Structure 1
Amino acid sequence: MSASAPTPPGVALLERAIGYTLGSLHVVTPLALTRPTPCDAWDLRALLVHMDDSLAALHEAIGCGRVDLVAAPHAEPAADPVASLRARACHLLGVCTGAPPRDRIAVGDLHMPAGLMFAAGAVEIAVHGWDVARACGHPRPIPPALAAELLALTPLLITDADRPVRFAAARTPSPSAGAEDRLLAFLGRGRATGESGGTRQGCAG
């Protein structure tokens, strides 16, 4: 029996982030789609559409080794954004399983380490999964081991240049804060929507 191909760097982390976020989709109801999220610019429906677009880009990166910076024409919004996102996520998990190892991904005319791109995708998808659950009033903690790995990567992915446009100013976590609270604080989020310190400003992606 031939040995299985090694999982591309960063893809295993991305798979875990997607698994967590799929759990958050279970708490979304049709009435919740117009609720505000920890991202100022989006209500829950808009956030789900954004997440769908992000997964489509990751699918392209993993399957083709490149991401086109020219946005494709938008199709009509899905009647059921949760079902659309869930199908996209499950399809991406299937692509991850058979993805060929890649060292670099072409992003337009530039190239970046594949592991770094997949790590960025994992941070975005997991934190938006947290956003979804918060918006629905059913908080779901990010698993401690996953939060710790994402926290270790965020300083490599987010710089002062990303604030305050993509992310709010970082908050100061309490000395006893665990990995999830420190991750959320670094991304300008808090545990309660509307809390001071940038919870409603800035979003990954």
Structure 2
Amino acid sequence: MDTDTDTDTDTDTDTPATAAEPGAGPTAAPFGDDDPRMAFARAVGTARQVIGAVEPDHLDRPTPCDAFDVRELLAHLTAVLRRVAVIGGGGSPFEVPDQVTDVADDGWAEAWVAAAHAVQGVWTDDVLDRSVQVPWRPMSGREALGIYTCEVTVHTWDLARAIDQEVDWDPLAVAAGEAAIRAELPNQGRHEMFEAARAAMPAEADGWPDPFLAAAPVAVDAPAIDRLVAYNGRPPQWPAS
């Protein structure tokens, strides 16, 4: 399947467009919309488009994710995708650092496709109902892909805002991400939730930060992408005028 926002099937496994559909080989039938791999694949495809639009003079720009400039955000996004592959294969999320350090400034698009291939190789049907470990708790593969659909989409929004890139947001990916994060996170008390989780984490998680801030205000009739990023702690109007 092409990982852009359409749903056409692409059977050429040598093209990067096939790389971001996790769990299905080039001859497999497309996932149905109720399969979390479909929404995740679309989120990965949207991210691929935005990553491909990054120019060298963008790399030091600030982003809505205060901890990262564009270069650091690319390093974190790539780490997130590699982490999805690791946990799908039964590993610990802490095997992957918060930012990758092995990608050159001109190698982000290639690294993204390679990480997507790794996800594709491990997220088979049986993983969806198996328990996997995200940093703060174990959950089913279905739940985890929903959370990572949210994370990939929100960080793609961060990146797009930082480089002034217009995005045609995929409605399935955005809706799946919002449903997953609302089911997982309370509106209040997030710091306390993650503080309790830190107490049970392994030693290699030392210094793990809260992954989500308090929700930002947003109009009830705001676009879906604005509601999603606001629930993840981003002011949708970034940068403030």
Is the TM value for this pair above 0.5? yes
**Contact 1:14-1:121 within 8 A present in 2 as well:** yes
Q: Give the aligned partner of residue 199 of structure 1.
A: none
Superposition RMSD in Å: 3.2
The SS at the match of 2:74 is helix
The SS at the match of 2:94 is coil
Task: Work out which of the residue numbers 99, 103, 108 in structure 2 matches 1:78.
Answer: 103
TM-score by length of 1: 0.77
Structure 1, gaps ≥5 residues long: 197-205
The SS at the match of 1:142 is coil
**Which structure has more RCO (C-alpha within 8 Å, separation ≥ 6)?**
1
Give the Å deviation of 1:85: 3.4
Residues 5, 66 of structure 1: CA spacing in aligned structure 2 closer, same or farther, 3 A cutoff? farther
Q: Does 1:153 align with 2:198?
A: no
Residues 95, 34 of structure 1: CA spacing in aligned structure 2 closer, same or farther, 3 A cutoff? same
Question: How high is the sequence identity, in percent, across the aligned residues?
Answer: 28
Q: Give the aligned partner of residue 227 of structure 2.
A: 182
**Contact 1:33-1:44 within 8 A present in 2 as well:** yes
Give the Å deviation of 1:9: 4.9
**Contact 1:69-1:107 within 8 A present in 2 as well:** no
Give the Å deviation of 1:51: 1.0
User: 3-12 or 184-193: which moved more?
Assistant: 3-12
Give the Å deviation of 1:162: 3.1
Structure 2, gaps ≥5 residues long: 1-26, 193-209
TM-score by length of 2: 0.67
**Contact 2:213-2:233 within 8 A present in 1 as well:** yes
Residue deviations 1:121-177, cap 9 Å, x none?
111111111111111011324223332232222212223343594333322322431
* Pairing 1:47-126 to 2, within 5 Å after superposition: 47-62=73-88, 64-71=89-96, 76-79=101-104, 80-92=106-118, 94-95=120-121, 99-102=124-127, 103-107=129-133, 111-126=138-153
Q: Does 1:39 align with 2:65?
A: yes
Give the Å deviation of 1:67: 2.6
